[in-house]
Structure 1
Amino acid sequence: MKKTILCCFLLTAFLTNAQTDTDAIMMGKQNFCVGSIYQYSSWKQYWEGSIKRDNLNMGTVSTKSISMMGNYGISDNLNVLFSLPYVQTNASAGTMSGQKGIQDLSLTLKYMPIEKNIGNGIFSLYVIGGFSTPVSNYTPDYLPLSIGLHTKTGQIRLMGDYQIGKLFTTISGTYIKRGNATLDRNTYLTDEIHYTNKVDMPDAIAVNFRFGYRSSRLIAEAVLDNWVTQSGGFDITKNNMPFISNTMNTLKYGFNSKYTFKNLPELSIVSGCNFVVSGRNVGQSNTVYGGLFYILNLKKTQKEDEK
């Protein structure tokens, strides 16, 4: 859905993106939405394979992050998005110290080839492609306190949205292709011994469903998200640390909102939360976030400069 004034992986200890690439909102041509989101996530219990456990040696594992994000309208139907998070992890008990640093730069192209009236509503189809790459030399071999998996990732998403009046529903499916990760050691153990520092990372599929209320000033939605690791992963071995190529599955639900100020329509505030209800080799995490975004009309600025 084209709106000029609208802007806008959970794997337990890792950053949950602000979902700008999974909503059915497009920036207008030569509009640039930029802002920042703060997020806090924590868990005490986790799944070792399918068995739910406590880890008293670590207490509560928490992740704080602040992300710079942007969305530029190349045209009304084609947007380019970026995200760059700074992440800090912590454990409330035990001797393991957390990590902190800049994580991965994400770049995404979002294309809407179809927008048409069907029945009493408007149907929109989106094709989305994205790429992420680490931008700092953090180590992934320190789970669950690593700030990321330190692997290049590509993804392709197909998304459909249907809105009747101010009510909408959106569903999307994503395939995530992950490159190899490199460790600072020459051997490691999965379900067998590997004499190399290269880790073959399993791919993943994610399905996202959301429904709610959408107007020019307010968006309020409920979200259901399912992330499933594909073949190549394995379970955490008993009483052992997790490993980056573990199978990591999550099912979570959440709520998102976005409010645009009436007297300053360029400024909006976003907030939300999500909760993991089931998983495999992940923590049962609760997450909250909030942020501010501002839209710059670069076309208007360009015209003023030409005068």
Structure 2
Amino acid sequence: MKKMYLSCLLLTSLFINAQTDIDAIMMSKNNLCAGAVYQHSSWDQYWEGSFKRTNLNLGDVSTQSVAIMGNYGISDKLNFIFSAPYVKTKASAGTMKGQEGIQDLSLTLKYMPIEKTVNKNTYSVYVLGSYSTPLSDYTADYLPLSLGLKSKTGTLRLMGDYQRDHFSTTLSAAYVKRSNIIIERNSYLTNHEVIYSNEVAMPDAISVNFRTGYRSNRLIAEFIIDNWVTQKGGFNITKNNMPFPSNTMNAIRYGVYSKYTLKKIPALSILGGYNYVAEGKNIGQSKAIYAGLFYIINFEKKSNESEQ
């Protein structure tokens, strides 16, 4: 099961980035899973600190994105994952103009040091290291319509997985280290003081993800809970003001995810899902739907044919 042919997941919300690393499936050696995911998310209510409100100057804020993703099996226990989304934002009311362009490149190494089967129970442990960096010179200080936060990030994730027959449960936790960013003004206001600088210290974050459901060679169907918690250094949106890149942005999201591998074309898979923000702080109560297509290229087979 852990050497399943496909290992591709979903593009999540703008601030949580692409989640191509937190499934408990590894690509086989010399196999490349590549494809694209389209996502549409929107919200008309958001949390200003802990206060939930609407804003008639924004109306319905929507984000569309198409992410190119890939997962290559360096070995059966080591995978290299990449993703790069093209993002478009829009507000249905007011004078703020939406943004459009390439967001951030994410690179991940995923390693499975432990996989042990006892009777019918399989236990696995994964270690993941990720790095992301902006691919374009977009404006971070234009929330909630910015393409991203423009911070370079480093992420370390530890993940454990349990599977018995077709039932599976996966739990992972990650620490996200974020670099400072430069904005196009010389001062900004926090909850406590005015900062006379164009450099913004970005708070780190912790992400916890739980997923459980059905997993087979042909079908995956999972229920997902995701919790994103900003660490020390963030602050709330000031009253009746725009969000700011270093705001505390917390979110608890619930969702469902499924992936089906075609019987007649086993290298092709279709995936889709839905998620929504149930609780949050300084973030929109978004609902998102996504769908994608992925195809497997087996370089091992081509290499063997070439040698013969």
TM-score w.r.t. structure 1 length? 0.97
Say if 2:190 is the partner of 1:193. Answer: no
* Aligned equivalents of 1:204, 1:13: Cα separation in 2: 15
Per-residue deviation, 1:224 = 0.4
Per-residue deviation, 1:187 = 1.4
Which residue does the alignment assign to 1:41? 41
* Aligned equivalents of 1:20, 1:12: Cα separation in 2: 13
Matches within 5 A, 1:153-164: 153-164=153-164
More displaced stretch, 24-33 vs 191-200: 191-200
Which residue does the alignment assign to 1:233? 234
Between the two proteins, what is the percent identity of the paired residues? 63
Aligned residues: 306
Question: Alignment RMSD, CA only?
Answer: 1.5
Say if 2:289 is the partner of 1:284. Answer: no
Which residue does the alignment assign to 1:295? 296
Q: Which amino acid aligns with 1:81?
A: I
Q: Which amino acid aligns with 1:97?
A: K
Contact kept, 8 Å, 2:158 with 2:173, in 1: the verdict is yes
* Aligned equivalents of 2:128, 2:92: Cα separation in 1: 39
Which residue does the alignment assign to 1:211? 212
* Aligned equivalents of 2:119, 2:177: Cα separation in 1: 37
Per-residue deviation, 1:190 = 1.5
Unaligned residue ranges in structure 1 (runs of 5+): none
Describe the shift of the 1:21–1:141 C-alpha distance in structure 2 as closer, same or farther (beyond 3 A).
Answer: same
Q: Please list every run of at least 4 consecutive aligned residues from structure 1 whose deviation after the TM superposition is greater than 3 angstroms.
A: 9-16
Q: Which amino acid aligns with 2:120?
A: N
Deviations, residues 133-177 of structure 1 (Å, cap 9, x unaligned)? 001000000000001000100000000000000000000001000
Per-residue deviation, 1:15 = 6.7
More displaced stretch, 181-190 vs 130-139: 181-190
Which residue does the alignment assign to 2:123? 123
Matches within 5 A, 1:223-262: 223-262=224-263
Contact kept, 8 Å, 2:30 with 2:300, in 1: the verdict is yes
SS of equivalent residue, structure 1 residue 75: coil
Say if 2:98 is the partner of 1:98. Answer: yes
* Aligned equivalents of 1:212, 1:75: Cα separation in 2: 27
Deviations, residues 34-69 of structure 1 (Å, cap 9, x unaligned)? 000000000000000000001111100000000000
Contact kept, 8 Å, 1:69 with 1:84, in 2: the verdict is yes
SS of equivalent residue, structure 1 residue 117: strand
Per-residue deviation, 1:117 = 1.4
* Aligned equivalents of 2:119, 2:195: Cα separation in 1: 57
Contact kept, 8 Å, 1:41 with 1:64, in 2: the verdict is yes
SS of equivalent residue, structure 1 residue 177: strand
SS of equivalent residue, structure 1 residue 234: coil
SS of equivalent residue, structure 2 residue 301: helix
* Aligned equivalents of 2:242, 2:47: Cα separation in 1: 12
Matches within 5 A, 1:44-123: 44-123=44-123
Describe the shift of the 1:182–1:22 C-alpha distance in structure 2 as closer, same or farther (beyond 3 A).
Answer: same
Per-residue deviation, 1:181 = 0.8
Describe the shift of the 1:10–1:247 C-alpha distance in structure 2 as closer, same or farther (beyond 3 A).
Answer: farther
Q: Which amino acid aligns with 1:171?
A: L
* Aligned equivalents of 2:286, 2:3: Cα separation in 1: 33
Deviations, residues 159-211 of structure 1 (Å, cap 9, x unaligned)? 00000000000000010000001111221111311121110000000110000
SS of equivalent residue, structure 2 residue 59: coil
Per-residue deviation, 1:300 = 1.2
* Aligned equivalents of 1:134, 1:293: Cα separation in 2: 24
* Aligned equivalents of 2:104, 2:172: Cα separation in 1: 23
SS of equivalent residue, structure 1 residue 132: strand
Deviations, residues 218-252 of structure 1 (Å, cap 9, x unaligned)? 00000000000000000000000000000000001
Describe the shift of the 1:38–1:10 C-alpha distance in structure 2 as closer, same or farther (beyond 3 A).
Answer: closer
* Aligned equivalents of 1:178, 1:224: Cα separation in 2: 23
Per-residue deviation, 1:20 = 2.2
TM-score w.r.t. structure 2 length? 0.96
Deviations, residues 259-291 of structure 1 (Å, cap 9, x unaligned)? 000011100001001010000000000000000
* Aligned equivalents of 1:303, 1:13: Cα separation in 2: 42
Unaligned residue ranges in structure 2 (runs of 5+): none
